[in-house]
Structure 1
Amino acid sequence: MNPPLLATEGLTVHYGGVRANTDIDLHAGAGEVVGLIGPNGAGKTTFVDAVTGFTPSHGTVSVAGRRVDRLAPHQRRRAGLARTWQAGELFTDLTVRQNVAVAGGRGPLRNLCNDLIGRAEPGDDVDAVLETFGLLPVADRRPGKLSLGRQKIVGVARALAGATRVILLDEPAAGLDTDESAEFGTHVRAVAETGRAVLLIDHDMTLVAAICDRVYVLDYGAVIASGTPGEVLADPAVRTAYLGSELVP
């Protein structure tokens, strides 16, 4: 059996005397959308920061069976681990195609040259990524000219450029209306169907229930439940953690 594309074992993050994450074991396989939910302050973004190397942690992080927890963030990216950020991270002075091409650059020297002359050249797979997300018609427009929903999709497309095997989406549906969220979910499922693994963090429980194969629930930095969306959303411990305020009926 092939190892999961993403696996953490005993992942723990300390901030002084506070444990933001405690012994988190999580896995996501090829073709899966795995949800990570929990109330505000539960440690979800801290987990993503730890997995991608932006905050120190203990425990192991593996991509397709290869340990990456001793690698720097850019080295984890090259190993196939990508993420999006809660804040908008698109380059507003570049076109959609150029935004995606930046992430698919072939090396630091080429990227530096492109930066110096104000050009981001598309890689071989850029148009294929744009086509997957229905972005070819707007490829030469700047992100600021697009709806918020389309901008979110561009962010995911950019994260997928290059040899991405695992993508971690940190609250990508924030600010989207119901229709935009549903469209976004369709694209996330399409990403998984290419054989990649997706970890989705979001407070939109309708979205989580609709597209996730499995869900992990964090509370105070620890996993309190895992299973199918139906199982975890019906779990009394999960409902207590949320106080019923963010769960679908």
Structure 2
Amino acid sequence: MFDLSLDLVIFLVGAAFAAGFIDSIAGGGGLITIPALLLAGLPPAQALATNKVQGVFGAGTAALSYARSGLVDLRAQTGAALVAFAAGLTGAMLVSYLPTDVLKYGLPVLLIAIAIFFALKPGLNDTDRERRMSPLVFTATFVPAIGFYDGLLGPGTGAFFMLGFVMLAGYGVLKATAHTKLLNFASNLGGLVAFAMVGKPLWLLGGAMAIAQIAGARLGARLAIRVGSRVIKPLLVITSSALALRLIWQLI
């Protein structure tokens, strides 16, 4: 049976706070919480399930913070959020039936490419640009693809949503971040529903970490709203690169 000592809870709650802060700005909070849960002794499936519990609250808090600032209209994005939820649920339910090894080998390359894009692409700021895909087509194609991936594997989902909103929807960096958090919350929630049935998350631990996630996400969202692309872009480059390196290390 998993032993929840006080020092272990403090360690995991601290990790959740840091993850909530980083995730609300650039995604990649799982880089902190999943290794922390595994280090604490949780089996992989239970660690992933518990991570979904606290991650949902962090993403939801960030989405609400951005909505209150006027950066995303929650009602207008309800359809896209429902699509992301259904896709995340489907991906998580099929995770044991689909081969994911090929995706794992390709992920580091994609994440490094995203990091290079946001680091070197000129003119990436908080100003909207010409969109290459209508909202309806974007919701019907890109959103379910990334939501399904989030349920199936998960690492880098925020970076993939960000790239889509910037390149295809034509959003500025700050607006793209706001919309990313909403869809990331929805796909995370779908994944949580599926994981709750098979992964047996530790609900009390996930709840304690969720409180810290909420605090970190509120702080991070406030900073992103105040500073915009000047903090989002560098942090996105760092988190995408760090995730790529971690995935490469796991494959070696």
Tell me whether the two structures share a fold, i.e. TM-score over 0.5: no
Higher RCO (CA 8 Å, separation ≥ 6 residues): 2
Max radius of gyration: which structure?
1
TM-score by length of 2: 0.30
Please report the TM-score for the alignment, with normalisation by the length of structure 1: 0.30
Tell me which protein shows more strand as a share of its residues: 1
